[in-house]
A and B are shown apart, each in its own frame.
Chain A
Amino acid sequence: MAAEGPRVALFATCLVDLFRPSVGFAAVKLLRAAGCRVHVPRAQTCCGQPAYNSGDREDAKRIALQVIEAFEDADYVVVPSGSCGGTIACHYPGLFADDPDLAARARALAECTHELVSFLVDVMGVSEVTARHPATATYHDACAGLRELGVKGQARTLLDTVAGLNVRELPDSEVCCGFGGTFCVKYPDISNAMVADKVDAIVSTEADTLLAGDLGCLMNIAGKLQRRGSRVAVRHVAEVLAGEPEAPPIGEAGELS
């Protein structure tokens, strides 16, 4: 890593923290390879989106303030999730609309917060990776990354440089997988219909690997593929871009880490 590279604070997200640490380590590896100095602030838990989207604005504000305090010293905040990244980058400033000082701090944080893959390509100018991953993969555009943060071509650009990886376009790749945070347990039948359509589309590509940039969507899709008995491997895109993933595919057995 370059001693004078930008200081990047990694916001791991609660799902990566609890379910899939390998994504966090892959993000660190990619950021360092791009010349960033990475640190992981200790005072992080969650971005507050579950409270925010449940209408609990006060708790969302308290959690947002905790994130602002823990991350505002960094040059950039990078998040391996378009959904959590979008919450910080697009929604935090609005939470503090009635407090000019906090709103200014929220805006400053919002402006330096990026989703991981788009940060690598758009900010750090990364155009290729050195990874190798022999597979035929298809890629799902997770909603918040796509529509809030404009993450679309960046992942494809980098995936095209992974040795041995063949990427096929997913039909209706921009249609929601039905996860939606608490939606998937509040309206399980509708969520199931949506993820069933997504799984049909994935299977129709005959790819052996499904990639996306948001762990919530990935757990939903992996869970449905596996319930159907499918052998498609599901991974976070960062794991493939970083190369030599330490963890087995999502929902598959492997070494306890």
Chain B
Amino acid sequence: MTTHRPSAFAENVPGALADDQLQQALGNIKQGFVAKRARAAGDLPEFEALRDHARDIKDHTLNHLDAYLERYESRVHAQGGQVHWCPTGEDARRAVVDICTRVGAERCTKGKSMVAEEIGLGDALSAAGVTPVETDLGEYILQLRGEPPSHIIAPAIHLNRDQIAEDFRRAHLTLPPQRALDTARALVDEARGTLREHYLAADVGITGANLLVAETGQSVIVTNEGNGDLTQNLPRVHIVVASLEKVVPTLEDASTILRVLARSATGQEVTVYTTFSAGPRRPDDPDGPEEFHVVLLDNGRTGMLGTEFQEMLRCIKCGACMNHCPVYTAVGGHAYGATYVGPMGAVLTPALQGVEEAGHLPNASTFCGRCEAVCPVRIPLPGLMRRWREREFERHLTPLPVRSGLRVWAFAALRPRLYRLAMRAPLRVLGWLGRRRGRFGWLPLASGWTNHRELPAPAGRSFMDRWRAEGRDDT
């Protein structure tokens, strides 16, 4: 129903607004994520100071990104792992597929990774004859449905329990058809049982990374299901797929980021599982993979360094901006037609896919500022969306009627006497026409407004004209 292209945003909106089931699911975000984040932030007196600290850590790292990435790489090497530098999504897909082919992998398990979504890794693996199985419950459900995530931390937030039960009945054909699937517990147990076999059979485990720690060469993932641990510990090969701005200098820095991440994302003090991995299994380790690889993706990010969009690279992918966004919670994630959705997606997607393709996303905002108010690393999201609008305007991508309308309006606004003269007659006419009802149900050229609401009639005479006639400046 929705088209997975950012340029299809406006076409996707009516369907999303008319989808009652989706609207009900989106309504839960307010009581869920928003209320929990507010509570968690309120419970920690130093939360605002922590946000400043997290912002400063990310800024410092981005300003010395090359140095920290090289340090990270050398630590990974020292621990027996390999780092694959990938300028593009194609490079990253090839790096993962090459490893899988070399080790003769037929099956792989996959933890939740937005970077894997960004580069279309699942399809690339399938095409290469490696069957990927998503192990995050939400991602697993979406894999059964053939849908992309609609939220960066709660990928299946757009679905309800009945839909998931139907998917499970369709997919798990060896289980008794009459089994009860009417509780979340039953669904989780069934997914767990099914996934257990996949964990044991997988040759390769692929995870994302919430953080890369330069001083220790560790990658860090946070989950609430524990699927990440089973994905990375049981198979022979562990591949971490991460974008390069995930690096932080020290373990201490990582802990600061984790403290704001969990609270901002789910309102937890700490996620249920926080897993640090560093290299393949050592001789004395009880378990762990034989090979450890980090596929480090750029895909346009270093091109944002040193530009007005660098601040976007502070993002720690908590999802708070979308949970608090009145546009996201009105239409859901699929309408965006992009991997990254909500306010952070509205800034990042034009950087990754071009503003020609993704121009709708930074325009579909009222600049209400709620996203910036909750962002744990204080990214000025509305300001960056405005920057994309400026890039559009400079490149004449802004629709012609808007451009010419602005030009005429600005010409008048810069000539106060002309402006006043030009407004006088229309105000008189509209004031007279609207005198009986005080408003209009319809006006030519105003249907964008009047299709959904009445337009209050102007008073007939401007404040400036009346002030000149009746008012008096104090001296």
Contacts and interface: CB of A to CB of B under 8 A. Distances in A.
Interface in A38-88: 38-40, 42-46, 48, 50-57, 59, 62-63, 66
B391 A254 contact: no
A148 interface: yes
B327 A50 contact: no
B198 interface: no
Interface string B412-424: 1110100100010
A51 to B, nearest CB: 6
B416 A44 contact: yes
B436 interface: yes
Contacts, number: 224
B449 interface: yes
Contact of B391 (A25, A37, A55, A147): A55
A45 B419 contact: yes
Interface string B430-457: 0110011111010000001101111111
Interface string B364-390: 111111101100000000000010111
Interface residues of B, number: 71
Interface stretch (A105-113, A118-126, A161-169, A175-183): A175-183
A248 interface: yes
Interface in A140-199: 143-144, 147-148, 172, 174-176, 178-195, 197
Residue among B17, B326, B392, B419 with most chain A CB within 10 A: B326
A257 B459 contact: yes
A184 B367 CA distance: 12
A224 B452 CA distance: 7
A250 interface: yes
B14 A189 contact: yes
Contacts of B390: 55, 57
A54 B14 contact: no
A245 to B, nearest CB: 12
B200 interface: no
A7 B473 CA distance: 10
B13 interface: yes
Given A18-B458, A45-B412, A227-B453, A180 B393 contact: no
Given A222-B454, A256-B432, A56 B386 contact: no
| 3 A-B pairs closest in CB distance | A180-B366, A185-B448, A223-B453
7 contacts: A14-B413, A17-B462, A42-B464, A57-B390, A66-B413, A187-B10, A227-B441
Interface of A: 1, 7, 12, 14, 16-25, 28, 32, 36-40, 42-46, 48, 50-57, 59, 62-63, 66, 143-144, 147-148, 172, 174-176, 178-195, 197, 219-220, 222-224, 226-227, 247-248, 250-254, 256-257
